[in-house]
A and B are shown apart, each in its own frame.
Chain A
């Protein structure tokens, strides 16, 4: 067979058919990102949450008022050019107070989520990984705790602790990790018998490496979803606590405090309730949408 010099040139330059290598298989997170972008619910939820975060950061500087400045000549002023969202019973600007309230309410929501993530992952991870009687005992404890209506104990804790952000966080964190622990434990239990864990162990990986490099990343999906859904619940609970007079103290105000203040003048100054109500509901809705969306995005097998 005759070989010319040309035969040793790359095919691509000569316009001849080339066999393409198959595209690299989609990575897990690549797939997540693709599904996330096309999930309307999740994108919309994220957009609203991002808007709220931005509002909480820049909002207080937009109106030229502070959240504590009182103007007793202009109390209960209706919404308009002077006060965008009206003023409250002490002549404070409701718009600025809502932006500040966003910091508190969102902050409490996020921090409760992180707190229950840390406790829940540790507790559930250990329980599921250890197995046997340790698991049995730890889960029985969760079961007992879970059967107690804990909101009542949140109230008791709040009565004891001085009302304030720390107290709210302590009380909420003490309650919301339970569900997280159960989810993590279920995940770990399902994963730890699988072959890739066995091979990791055969290759000499230690317990901690298996826990943090293999089990945790693989159980992230449901954990993230659970955390996303804890945030709105915490915001909800904080609003409810504030209504009972157990939330953050004046002159700072979470959305719950603003709403319960608005309740007092409801008959004549309904906007004092409408605006905080709108912001709480929209934010909770957005987090729920994101959570539901993420459930589809992170675990396509669990489609409803």
Chain B
């Protein structure tokens, strides 16, 4: 146990270091420096800007400064807005997190339900339609699904508002658009996990002693089939968050994802890099927690060599 946790921590720290170094290198390989893309500033202004952002220091010093700033949780200023990256995060992240949490919970609920139904009525129309739904979830990109939902529910039926943020009515469509892919993943994993467990001999034993199929499914198979679903929660959270970049822009949700897209379009380098570091660190920690959780839940695994992602 201790060895496993230690290994995960070391991996996480290495990854964090790699992330910060990568962003630093990228920041400094921007052609001409961050200020040259705008209209030509007078040399004196440029000089002042460079001095303010300490761009005249030797690289190693900038690297150390950058590192220690991040270690203190300071992601620096935005080049385009008159605000710090931290302020932008504290404003946008709660919105994104709320949306992501709704999307993930929905995909968990719907995915587990679909997968269980499919396994319960294996090779029936229920199974096939659940798997068709999952296949569709795999095939329609989130932002396109968002557009289609918007067309149907906002423009044609006029049931839901097409944009902005406020009550639950604003959450429905973006959350649906975000949850399609994770839902499909979870449904498939759940189904194959259940079918796998149902082939085991102890299930036959349970049948032989007279337990009903439904009882076995719920009390014996369910818990075991749930484990693979948990392992994939980390990557799925990552998928939801990266998906939210596009989906938040479509529905004009004032979350971090939209800031990210806007910063990409503005070439606001410090904001892009700050948000990247933030997202990466957040997802790394999420992954770590999921792994720990998994380890605690399943005493059988003693991971070695080939680790999960």
Q: Enumerate chain A interface residues (CB-CB to B < 8 A).
A: 139-140, 143-149, 151-153, 155-157, 159-160, 182, 186, 232, 236, 239-240, 243-246, 256, 259-260, 262-263, 266-267, 270, 273-274, 276-277, 280-282, 284-285, 288-289, 304
Decide if B148 touches A144 in the complex (CB within 8 Å): no
Q: How distant is the Cα of A156 from the Cα of B21 in the complex, in angstroms?
A: 13
Decide if B280 touches A148 in the complex (CB within 8 Å): yes
B94 within 8 A of A: no
Decide if B141 touches A236 in the complex (CB within 8 Å): yes
Tell me the minimal C-beta distance from B250 to chain A in angstroms: 7
Chain A residues in 8 Å Cβ range of B243: 240
Q: Which residue of B lies closest to A286 (CB)?
A: B139
**A–B complex contacts, Cβ < 8 Å, 16 sampled:** A145-B18, A147-B11, A151-B242, A155-B264, A156-B276, A159-B269, A160-B26, A240-B141, A263-B250, A276-B144, A277-B147, A280-B140, A280-B141, A281-B144, A284-B140, A304-B195
B305 within 8 A of A: yes
B217 within 8 A of A: no
Decide if B287 touches A147 in the complex (CB within 8 Å): yes
Decide if B264 touches A159 in the complex (CB within 8 Å): yes
User: Which of B12, B139, B195, B305 is in CB contact (< 8 Å) with A139?
Assistant: B305
Q: Enumerate chain B interface residues (CB-CB to A < 8 A).
A: 11-12, 14-15, 18-19, 22-23, 26, 29-30, 135-136, 138-144, 147-148, 150-151, 155, 192, 195, 238, 241-243, 245-246, 249-250, 260-261, 264-265, 267, 269, 272-273, 276, 279-280, 283-284, 287, 305-307, 309
Q: State the main secondary structure of chain B at its contact with A.
A: helix
Q: Which residue of A lies closest to B184 (CB)?
A: A288
Q: How distant is the Cα of A240 from the Cα of B244 in the complex, in angstroms?
A: 11
Decide if B279 touches A149 in the complex (CB within 8 Å): yes
Decide if B135 touches A262 in the complex (CB within 8 Å): no
Chain A residues in 8 Å Cβ range of B192: 304
Most buried by B among A146, A152, A276, A277: A152
